[in-house]
Structure 1
Amino acid sequence: MAPRILIVGLNYSPEHTGIAPYTAGMARALREVGWDTEVITGLPHYPQWQVREGYEHSGGRREAIDGVPVLRVGHPVPHDAGQIRRLGMEIVFGLRTVTAPWGKPDVVVVITPALFASAIVRVRAALTRTPVIAWVHDIYTAGLSETGAAKGPVTRVMRAVEGTFLRSCEGVVVIHDRFSDYLRRHMGVAGERITTVRNWTHIAESPAVDTDALRRRFGWAPEDVVVLHTGNMGAKQDLANVAAAARVAERDGAPLRFVLVGGGHQRPQLQELASRTPRFEVLPSVDDDTYAGLLRAADILLVNERPGLTEMCVPSKLTSYFTADRPVLAAVEAQSPSAAELTAADAGIRVEPGDPEALVAGAVSLHEEWITTGGATHRGGRRYVREVLSRGAAVRSFVSALHKLRPVAAERREPAAAHS
Structure 2
Amino acid sequence: MATELTRSPSYRIGRNSGPVNRVVEPQDRPEERKCVDFIAINYAPEVTGIAPYVTDITRRLAARGWSVRVITGYPHYPQWRLDGDMADYTSTVVDQGVIVVRVPHSIPEGTALVPRSRMELEFGLRAIVAHLRPEAVTVMASPPLIASALVMLRRKIGRRTLSPMGVWVHDLYSQAVTEAAAGGTLSRTLVGRLEKFALCSADEVAVVHPRFGEIIVDRLGVDPSVVTHVRNWTQVRHEPRAPRDMARAELGIPTDAIVAVHAGNMGQKQGLENLVDSARLVAGSTSAAARKVHLYLVGDGNQRRHLEDRARGCPDITFVDSLPDDRFHLMLSAADVLVVNEKPGVVEMSLPSKLTTYFSYGIPVVAAVSDDGITAAEVRRSHAGVVVPAGDPAALLSTIAQIATDTTAALTMGEAGERYAEEVLGADAAVERFEMWLHKLSHHASVRA
Bin for the TM-score computed over the shorter chain: over 0.9
| Alignment partner of 1:354 out of 374, 379, 391 | 391
Does the 8 Å contact 1:228/1:298 carry over to 2? yes
**Greater shift in the superposed pair: 270-279 or 344-353:** 270-279
Distance 1:188 1:151, change over 3 A: same
* 1:13-62 Cα deviation digits (max 9, x unpaired): 1112110110111111222223211110000111111111133574x611
Matched, 1:398 2:434: yes
Task: Please show how residues 18-417 of structure 1 align to structure 2 within 5 Å.
Answer: 18-55=49-86, 58=89, 61-126=91-156, 127=158, 128-129=160-161, 130-204=163-237, 206-207=239-240, 209=242, 211-252=244-285, 254-369=291-406, 371-372=407-408, 375-412=411-448, 414=449
Q: Distance in 2 between matches of 1:163 and 1:68?
A: 31
Deviates more, 1:144-153 or 1:227-236: 144-153
Amino acid of the residue matched to residue 116 of structure 2?
Answer: R
Matched-pair contact (CA < 8 Å) for 1:6–1:105: no
In 1, Cα distance between the equivalents of 2:248 and 2:277? Answer: 23
Structure 1 residue identity aligned to 2:267? G
Residues 1:16 and 2:53 aligned together: no
Contact kept, 8 Å, 2:33 with 2:135, in 1: the verdict is no
Partner amino acid, structure 1, of 2:46: E
> What's the CA shift string for 1:134-183, capped at 9, x where partnerless?
00000011011111222333212211221121011000000011111111
**Structure 1 range deviating more: 319-328 or 251-260:** 251-260
Contact 1:259 1:283 in 2 (8 A): yes
CA distance in structure 2 between the partners assigned to 1:29 and 1:89 by the alignment: 29
Taking the aligned partners of 1:374 and 1:388, their CA distance within structure 2 comes to 20
- 5+ residue gaps, structure 2, are 1-31
Question: Quick one: which amino acid aligns to residue 409 of structure 1?
Answer: A
Give the whole-Å Cα distance in 1 for the aligned partners of 2:414 and 2:250.
Answer: 28
1:2 positional shift: 4.8
**Count, aligned residues:** 411
Deviation at 1:372, TM superposition (A): 4.9
Task: Check the 8 A contact 2:138/2:165 in 1, yes or no.
Answer: yes
Q: What's the CA shift string for 1:243-282, capped at 9, x where partnerless?
A: 0000111211621101100010011112223331120111
Cα distance in 1 between the residues matched to 2:378 and 2:56: 22
C-alpha change, 1:331 and 1:367, in structure 2 (3 Å) is same
| Residues 92-148 of structure 1: per-residue CA shift (max 9 Å, x gap) | 001111112323243110011210011112233443422210000000110111112
Structure with higher helix content: 1
CA contact 2:38–2:138 (8 Å) conserved in 1: yes
Whole-Å separation in 2 of the counterparts to 1:341 and 1:202 = 17
Amino acid corresponding to residue 111 of structure 2 in structure 1: A
Q: Which moved more, 1:79-88 or 1:164-173?
A: 79-88
Cα distance change, pair 260–404 in 1 and its aligned pair in 2 (3 A): same
Look up the equivalent residue of 1:77 and give its one-letter code. I
Taking the aligned partners of 1:271 and 1:217, their CA distance within structure 2 comes to 24
Kept in 2: contact 1:75–1:93 (CA 8 A): yes
Q: Contact between 1:108 and 1:125, CA under 8 Å: does it hold in 2? A: no
**CA 1:295–1:57 in structure 2 vs 1: closer, same or farther (change >3 Å)?**
closer
1:198-223 Cα distance to aligned partner (Å, 9 max, x none): 11112235347454343234332111
Root-mean-square deviation (Å): 1.8
TM-score, normalised with respect to structure 2: 0.87
Instruction: Name the CA distance, whole Å, in 2 between partners of 1:334 and 1:159.
Output: 25
Equivalent pair of 2:247/2:333 in contact (CA under 8 Å): no
Alpha-carbon distance in structure 2 between the residues aligned to 1:291 and 1:374:
21
Larger RCO, structures 1/2 (Cα 8 Å, 6+ apart)? 2
Percent identity between matched residues is 37
The answer to whether the 8 Å contact 2:368/2:387 transfers is: yes
Summarize the Cα distance change of 1:102–1:374 in structure 2 as closer, same or farther, 3 Å threshold: closer
Instruction: Evaluate the alpha carbon distance shift between residue 297 and residue 42 of structure 1 in structure 2; reply closer, same or farther with a 3 A threshold.
Output: same
1:211/1:294 contact within 8 Å kept: no
45-54 or 109-118, which moves further after superposition?
Answer: 45-54
Q: Which runs of 5+ in 1 are unaligned?
A: 415-420
